[in-house]
Amino acid sequence: MGPKEQQLISAEAEAFLISAAPLMVVLTGYGAFIFGFMVAIRSLTMRESWGRPQTILLVCLVTILICFTWIVSISGGGILMAEGFIFMQTLEQQQGLINHVQAADKRIMIWQYISDWPATILASIIYIIHESSSYIPYGHPSNAASLE
């Protein structure tokens, strides 16, 4: 192993350590989100009456859960798969470490393309929930304006 390969290993290990700390924060936040999601579902199912607004809210909550799970899987999956391909899976010895890193980059390229639109779906759902918050308690947006 030459000095060029040692530098490459050092750079890849440093990049992994730099990306591991935010990954731990994201996974901790995901655990807090799951707890809040369970509390919201529990309080929603404890209501005596169940109507269309509760159904819409339940669908929105489940969609938020799916999108947030997708975002966490993308952010964590890309990092962990990249390091697995670089450090754990071996190629032919003749190809060298530099070709190994390039092959790993090609294998994880899909993770870079699917990361944008779950956040767009989440933003749209949050906007829908916010705009429908006046509709749910009063039954119609014009009633909410007359009560103020």
12-25: pLDDT as tens digits:
778 888 888 888 88
Of residues 66 and 89, which shows the higher confidence score? 66
| Model confidence at 52: pLDDT above 60 | yes
Mean pLDDT of the chain: 75
According to the model, what pLDDT value does residue 79 have?
Answer: 75
State CA 60 to chain mean position distance: 16
147 inside domain: no
Contact (Cβ atoms closer than 8 angstroms) between residue 137 and residue 144 = yes
Residue in 27, 14, 24 with CA at minimum distance from that of residue 83: 14
What is residue 93's three-state secondary structure? coil
| Residue 108 lies inside a defined structural domain of this protein | yes
Query: In the numeric block, which tokens belong to residue 122?
Result: 């989440």
> Considering the domain boundaries, does residue 19 fall inside one?
yes
Residue 34's pLDDT is: 93
Q: Which stretch of 30-44, 57-71, 121-135 has the lowest confidence by average pLDDT?
A: 121-135
Check residue 32 and give its pLDDT: 94
Query: 35 CB contacts (<8 Å, ≥6 apart)?
Result: none
User: How much is the pLDDT for 38?
Assistant: 92
Confidence of residue 88 (pLDDT cuts 50, 70, 90): low
Instruction: List CB contacts of 58: < 8 A, sequence separation 6 or more.
Output: 41, 44
Residue 103 reports pLDDT greater than 70: yes
Q: Which two tokens stand for residue 22?
A: 């935010």
Q: How many domains does the chain have?
A: 1
91: phi then psi, degrees, rounded to nearest 5: -105, -175
Asked if the structure places residue 146 within a domain, the reply is no
Global model pTM greater than 0.85: no
147 band by pLDDT with thresholds 50, 70 and 90? very low
Which of helix, strand or coil describes residue 148?
coil
144 lies in some domain: no
Q: In this structure, is residue 18 part of a structural domain?
A: yes
**Residue 141 is assigned to a structural domain of this protein:** no
| Domain annotation covers residue 111 | yes
Q: Which residue has the tokens 């809040």?
A: 36
For residues 27-37, give the mean pLDDT: 91
